[in-house]
Each structure stands twice: as structure tokens, then as C-alpha cells.
Structure 1
Amino acid sequence: MTHTPRGARQRLLALSSRQHIEARWGALGAWLGDFPRHRCVRGPETGMAMLKGRTGGTGNAFHLGEMTLTRASVALDDGTVGHGWVRGRDHRHAELIALADAVAQHAEWQEALETRLLAPLAAELAERQRRDAATAAATRVDFFTLVRGE
């Protein structure tokens, strides 16, 4: 089984809803049994992040605006530290991402995390993106140019 790279895992967890993560996290903890205890070492705390954009996608960078961001860091009982960031003000969501990051650093929990948490969340996210793309496609307008006779 291949393991999801850390950045991709963090992105997937941040884009998934807290409710979906919590539901699967509870089932994962019950399945593993000896799940690690943790404590928060930083946060969760909410702040702002500056967003940058580019003119035309490739031009000069400019400040687009600010976004609310929540971050958290947790430490497992063995000292392993995990970090989590999520847009918005959901402290529990950021804490769950940090906890998953810490747990993923342990080889004995990686496969369970992949199969019981990340794979179902990835499938849900892909389905949501497919639905959003279908909704957007339904509003697509194709323009064409009429050429006058010469």
C-alpha cells in the first residue's frame, strides 16, 4: 500500500468536513484499540493569512485579501508532534488534522489511517468535486463568432 504524502494528506483533511473526519476517526479509534492519547501544545488558535493572486494567473503578484485560518499542534504521549491548519474558525477540525498528522508518523498506524480514514475521505472529496463540476458545466455557455458574408 502506498502512503499519502504529508502535504496531500493535510490538504485532504483540510478540504474534508469536520463531521466526516470525526465519524471516521471514532471508528478508527475503536478499531485500533490502543489509540494514543494526546495533548495540545499550541492552540487551537485562529488568525489571519494573506492571500496572493496573479494577474491573469501568470502576471505580477498582488495581495488579494485576507482569510481566517485556524491552526493547532498536538503531541502524542510518546512526544510525536503533529500540526494542522484549516480555513475558518473550526478549532476541533484543526486539532483533528494535527492529531492525524502525528498518528501518521507511526508506521504501525499508517495503513489503518490510509484505509479507514484517508481513502474514504478522498472518495467523498472526489465525488463532491465531480458534483460541483457537473453543476458548473450545466451553466456553461459556448460562444461562437458569426462571420459575415464578404
Structure 2
Amino acid sequence: MSELTQRQRWMSILAHSDPATLEAHWDTLHFPTDYQLLRPTQIGLIQLQGRMEVDGPRFIVGDMTVTRAAVQLEDGTCGYSYIAGRNKPHAELCAWIDALLQTRSYFHEIWERIITPLADQQRARREQQQHDVAASRVNFFTLVRGE
């Protein structure tokens, strides 16, 4: 897995994590490092675009609130996050963890104790949702009439 792809993976896992669960995992770790905000954590709107078929014209589905954070560690490493919703502490924690995951000294411990459990929980939740949807599936058959 390339570095860019791996970072995209952990940023997705962090952004989709439940804030309380992420904080519970984070509280088990005791890192002496601190961070400073590169800019104040911001809440804003983005427009969601849809498309009919593969090559159809784009259209605006609606708006969604997002929160973005940017932090910098003492060694200059920067971390970023964009999360759905209006939870500033969650966005800052995701950005802080993103910055720490870019350093070799913290990567393995954070990966094993935060990212892997969160990924497993998200996978289990997705599989349960797929199972629930499959249980309610309805098959419609088209009858061919003789002429």
C-alpha cells in the first residue's frame, strides 16, 4: 500500500469514527506531545453533487455541514481533518492523530491501538447493515405473456 493510500485510509477511518469511541481509544495512550492550531477550527457548508447515470449532468443534492481542523506538532509535522457535522473537538483530535501517524515514533502504537480497532468496528457495522438490508430484499419477477 502506498503512503498516500495508507494516509487516505487512516484519515477516512478517523473521519468516520464515533467521537466517543475515538476519545476512549485515545485516552488509553499517553503521549507527551502537544500541538498548536495552524488556523482556528472551522465549521462550514459544502454542496453535495450527484449525477444521473455515469455520464449524466451533475446536480446539487443538498448541503452538508463539515468541520475542518489543521494542527502542527512541535517538530513541524502538520495534521489535517475534515469531518461531517459540527464537532470541533473531534476534528481537532482527528487532525492531531493524523499528524502523529506521520511520525515514526508514534505510528505503530497508534495504528495498533486506535486505527485497527476503529476499522474493525466500522467493518462490523457495515457488514451488519448489509445483512439487515439483504434480509429485507424483495425480488420482482417480470412475467412474459404469450401473444
Task: Tell whether the 8 Å contact from 1:75 to 1:82 is kept in structure 2 after alignment.
Answer: yes
TM-score by length of 2: 0.90
Partner of 2:79: 82
Shift of 1:82: 0.7
SS in structure 2 at match of 1:5: helix
Partner of 2:67: 70
Aligned residues: 145
Shift of 1:74: 1.1
Q: How does 1:1-150 map to 2 (within 5 A)?
A: 5-29=6-30, 34-150=31-147
- 4+ aligned runs moved over 2 Å, structure 1: 147-150
Moved more, 55-64 or 17-26: 55-64
SS in structure 1 at match of 2:21: helix
Shift of 1:56: 2.3
Within 2, Cα distance between the matches of 1:51 and 1:22? 28
Give the percent of matched residue pairs that are identical in Structure 1 and Structure 2. Answer: 38
Gaps of 5+ in 2: none
Report which structure shows greater RCO (CA 8 Å, sep ≥6).
1
Within 2, Cα distance between the matches of 1:41 and 1:110? 22
Within 2, Cα distance between the matches of 1:35 and 1:120? 23
TM-score by length of 1: 0.89
Gaps of 5+ in 1: none
Within 2, Cα distance between the matches of 1:138 and 1:84? 36
Shift of 1:57: 4.3
